Amino acid sequence: SFDNSYFRLLLMVEWTPSSEKFAKRDRVQYRDPNDSLIMLPSDIALIQDEGFRRYVELYASDQERFRRDFGAAFGKLLALGTNG
């Protein structure tokens, strides 16, 4: 279902960096303790940066707010379109 679990996982899980060869390149990914989920550096940046972290915390704690904000942003995207 469409919910705020992404934001909750970002905050609740202890993500460990893992440097391995992905697509024949050295890439960093972050893994959960069970080695069943990964996050990318761009995901982890959301909790490391104070400006973004406040939104992660907000959306992790308030699913309705996340849905409302996402719906408004996605609606604008659909209405205005994209170049490309």
Q: Which two tokens stand for residue 3?
A: 């919910």
Q: Which two tokens stand for residue 17?
A: 């960096």
What pTM does this model have? Answer: 0.83
| Position 83 confidence tier, pLDDT thresholds 50, 70, 90 | confident
Q: Which two tokens stand for residue 53?
A: 């972290």
Over its C-alpha atoms, the chain yields an Rg (Å, rounded) of 15
Contacts of 4 (CB under 8 A, 6+ apart): 59, 60, 62, 63, 66, 67
**pLDDT, tens digit, for every residue of 23-35?**
566 678 999 999 9
Q: What are phi and psi of 3, to 5 degrees?
A: -150, -170
H/E stretch holding 54 reads helix 50-61
Q: Please determine, for residue 81, whether its predicted confidence score (pLDDT) is greater than 90.
A: no
